[in-house]
Amino acid sequence: MSSSGDGIKSQNANWRFDEEVAQNFENHIKRSVPFYEEGHNLILQISDYFIKDDSICYELGSSTAKLSFELSKRHSSKKEARFVAIEKEEAMVKKALSLYQNKNLEIIQDDITTHGYQKSDLFISYYTIQFIHPKLRQKLIDEIYNSLEWGGGFIMYEKVRASDARFQDMMTNLYNEYKLSNGYTPEEIINKTKSLKGVLEPFSSKANVDMLKRAGFEDIITIQKYINFEGFLAIK
C-alpha cells in the first residue's frame, strides 16, 4: 500500500473511489485537476442556455454531488426543474448526502451505464467517461444522445491523450510539474499513476469527438482546454 497524497492510500492498478477517497475527495481533486472549480463555474453559466422550467439535468459520476448542488441552487426559481446526480460508489453517495441537500436535487446510487434515463435537456459528465471501460463508452454516449430532447446539451470533461508521442511526453511532463507545484511529492505522483493503470483510460480529443459524432451529435465545440484536460459541449 502506497500514498497518493492527501491522506489517500493506493494500490497498483487498483484505484477506487472508496471511503478514504470520499473523505478527502474535494481537496484532492482541486489539487490534481487544473482549473477544476473554474470548470464548474463555466458549466453553471452554460446551463442557463439549457435548463427550462420543467427540465431534467443529469450529472453522471457525480462524486460528492457538489456540481449538481450548485446547479440546483442556481435554477431554484424553476420550480419543476430536477437535478439528478448519479454515482456508483456507496461511500461517495453517503458523503454527498451528508454535504448537499436541496428540494430539487436527487442523489442516486446507480451505475450510469445501465441507469434508465428520462428525456432531459442537459447531461453533464465531469471527468467520468474516462473511468468507463472503453467497450462500454460508445453505448453510453449513444444512450445520452437518445435521452436528450432536441436542442439539449451534453457537457463532457475528460483527461485527454495527445495526438502523437512527442506531444504526449510534453503534456505528461507539464502535468507532473503542475502537481509538483501543488505540493505533491514525486513518489506520490508515481504512486497515483501506478494506481490508475487500467482504471483511467483517456481517449484523444479526436477520439472523443468521433465518439460523440457516432452517437449522432453534429454540433460540438471545445469550451475549456488546459494541458491534457478538455471540456466539450455537444448539442443535439
Mean pLDDT of 184-192: 84
Q: Which domains does the chain have, with CATH numbers?
A: 2-235 (3.40.50.150)
Report the first-to-last Cα separation within the chain, whole angstroms.
45
Of 197, 211, 203, 194, nearest in space to 229 by CA: 203
Looking at the chain, list the stretches that DSSP marks H as alpha helix, in order from N- to C-terminal side. Answer: 19-32, 36-47, 66-74, 90-99, 134-147, 165-181, 186-195, 205-215
**Per residue in 25-76, pLDDT tens?**
667 788 889 999 999 999 999 999 999 999 999 999 999 999 999 999 999 9
Average pLDDT, the chain: 90
pTM given for the model: 0.89
What pLDDT does 195 receive? 75
